A = this chain, B = another copy of it.
Amino acid sequence: MAQKVKLSTIADSLGLSTATVSLALRDSSLVAEVTRERIKQSARDLGYIYNRRAASLRTSKSGILGVCVHDIMNPFFGEILKSVEDELDRRRQTFILCNHHDELAKQRSFVDTMLQLGADGLILSPAIGTPASDIHLAEENDLPVTLIARTIEGSGVCGFRGDDAYGMGLAVDHLIGRGHRSIAMIGGTAMTSTGRDREAGYRAALKRGGIEFRDEWRVEGPRDRHSGFDAVSAFLAIEKRPTAIVCFSDLVALGVMYGLSRAGLRPGVDIAVIGYDDIDEAAIATPALTTVANGQSEVGRRAAGALLDRLQGLPASEETILITPELKIRQSSEFAWPN
């Protein structure tokens, strides 16, 4: 590579000052139309590359947003990210992705990097065990945070997620309405707000239906397809086997259906299965999976919107917004259960 092209290279080649060049490249009306065009042309010709860190050092704005979630490969997040991305694209913001795998250390190192780069904001699905003070640290250092999918007690920032207790209630109500009297719940952990709320919704619905909860019905843990598959053996070991299963997520449910098939049981015929999230795959799975649509794209769009509004100086909210979920009935829970 030859010499680095900078503002002064352009300025010198045109006999102008760097101030004028800088303004022109940012389309300032302070610079005459003709001059502006000459400058832009010259920048192209010389192969000028804007030095964002110099600019950012001067202005203390970076034009960068961070997005950090625990599992980028989970279609649930995929759908959130897609809508975050669409919203940010629409508003012409660059963003940077991070996958923290629910490891607090990874999340911290990413937040640190964002701080060091002077990122303008952060959209975060917090790792298990994230203390409110981590959020405060970011906020105190001029990094506004918006939470998605999970929220944190006392964080003092706004967040968007589905109404998990209500949504899981819809699923269980539906099964009870179909005649089921023994319903297991597979997956999720009490370490996240999502896990706690979905389990609470499950238990509340059983109670509403006059069904007494039994400890053995609750298979905690699984949060992905593979662990859902593995959990089937624990389920099959339940003494009086439940006739229906609600799962923590679609991914878990799809794994569970694979596992049931492996064991010679037909999901949707021998046993009802319901997922959560309504990911794209739910509709094409065979049998098609009954599930709870969780408003991913609304979560993503609104979270991005809220952050951008705040960056533009609108007042910050501290609210957690709950998106209302919706039951999607498909084959996997279609058949009424004979009592």
Q: Give residues in A with beta carbon < 8 Å to B.
A: 1, 47, 49-54, 56-57, 62, 64, 72-73, 75, 78, 81, 85, 94, 96-99, 109, 113, 115-118, 140-142, 225-226, 229, 255, 258-259, 261-262, 280-281, 284-286
Min CB distance A118 to B, Å, is: 6
Say whether chain A's binding surface is mostly helix, strand, loop, or mixed. Answer: helix
Query: If A115-B49, A140-B1, A262-B286 touch, does A72 touch B78 (CB 8 Å cutoff)?
Result: yes
Copies in the complex: 2
Is B94 within 8 A of A97, CB to CB? no
Query: If A54-B57, A142-B1, A281-B225 touch, does A99 touch B116 (CB 8 Å cutoff)?
Result: no
A96 to B261, alpha carbons, bound, how many Å?
Answer: 40
Is A284 within 8 A of B255, CB to CB? yes
19 CB contacts below 8 A, A to B, read A1-B141, A47-B140, A49-B115, A51-B116, A52-B53, A52-B116, A53-B53, A53-B54, A53-B116, A53-B118, A54-B57, A72-B72, A72-B78, A94-B113, A97-B98, A229-B284, A259-B284, A261-B286, A262-B286
- The one of B52, B81, B109, B226 in contact with A99, judged by C-beta atoms closer than 8 angstroms, is B81
Q: Which of A51, A62, A78 gathers the greatest number of chain B CB atoms within 10 Å?
A: A51
| Chain B residues in 8 Å Cβ range of A62 | 53
A117 to B54, alpha carbons, bound, how many Å?
Answer: 9
A286 to B75, alpha carbons, bound, how many Å?
Answer: 20
A118 to B62, alpha carbons, bound, how many Å?
Answer: 13
